Amino acid sequence: MQYLPALLLLAALMAVWELAVALLDIRPYLLPAPSRIWSAFLRIGGTLPHHTWTTMAEATLGLALAAAVGVALAALIASVGLVRRVLYPLLVASQAVPMIVLAPLLVVWFGFGMAPKVIVVALVGFFPIVVNTVDGLLGADREMVGLVRSMGANRAQVLRHILGPSALPAFFAGLKIAAAYAVVGAIIGEWVGAGSGLGIFITRSQASFRIDQVFVAIVIVALASILLFALVQLAARLATPWMYVHERKDEG
């Protein structure tokens, strides 16, 4: 089984952690042992699906928004040279604005609902999608474009038959990066204020010194990120099946 080494390592780390906390007599409000985190999970487990659901919904919607905006921007940047020169530096600069600074402003502008969280996720995620998709579109084989043009293809057909499919793997590479950060993005969005969600759950737990609960949330955030990443991976496999065939070198 391919994940066995990773699971063994994880189990070993847990054992070391558990032992270290017991032997060094570390206070639970500084670092709770895995067993304590587990019992916290059993105690508060009932409230978690609600928070997790909120955060996952924000992350997924934000990712979808990032993909839509990212692809539109990429198409514009790749097809118009002027847009490329004007917009690309701005996009890079936009990544220099810390989300921690932006998140409170978004709450002021868009209220305490879902909107500001979705926007934070989209802001974190659209950049790798744009950069990768632009590279994919510009990296399309010029001779392939020539081939379909010689068959009489118009611009839309060149986009559909050559540029689009050749940019698809790059788009998914960007989407995977965005997916890995989406859940964390949603949590940053919730930090400032929210009715429910893992971010607000973490804030409340910290305020009442329930560090074991914070760790429970961290584990769930990690699992949620892995789930989202795996879903994107699955979508990539379904949408670009030719990327997963083994090449045949022998003569036939």
Partner 1 sequence: MSEPAIELRGLSHRFGEGEHAVSAVQDISLSVAAGSFVSVLGPSGCGKSTLLRVLAGLLVPTAGQALVRGRSAIATPGLVGYMPQRDLLLPWRRALANATLGAEIAGEPVEAERERARGLFQQFGLAGFEDVWPAQLSGGMRQRLALLRTFLIRSDVLLLDEPFGALDAITRRAMQAWLQDVWMRDRRTVLFVTHDVEEALFLSDTVYVLTERPGRLLTHVDAPFARPRLPSLVVEPAFVQCKALLLEALDRGAPGG
The site for partner 1 (CB under 8 A) is made up of: 141, 143-144, 146-153, 157, 161-162, 165-166, 168, 240-242, 245-252
Write out 29-76 in H/E/C secondary structure.
CCCCCHHHHHHHHHHHHHHHHHHHHHHHHHHHHHHHHHHHHHHHHHHH
The CB-of-157 to partner 1 minimum distance in angstroms stands at: 6
Alpha-carbon distance 192 to 107, whole Å?
7
Cβ 143 to partner 1, closest distance in Å? 6
Q: Which of 217, 218, 236, 220 is nearest to 178 (CA)?
A: 236
Q: Which is nearer to partner 1, 27 or 246 (CB)?
A: 246
Q: Whole-number minimum distance, CB 90 to partner 1, in Å?
A: 32
| CB of 77 vs partner 1, minimal distance in Å | 23
* Residue 4 beta carbon to partner 1: minimum distance, rounded to whole angstroms: 31
Amino acid making up residue 157? Q
Closest to partner 1 by CB, 91 vs 144, is 144
Q: Are 62 and 186 in contact (CB under 8 A)?
A: yes
CB closer to partner 1, 39 vs 240: 240
Q: Which among 94, 184, 100 is positioned nearest to 130, based on CA atoms?
A: 94
Cβ distance to partner 1 smaller for residue 46 or 152: 152
- Of 73 and 175, which CB lies nearer to partner 1 in the complex structure? 175
CA–CA separation, 121 and 49 (whole Å): 20
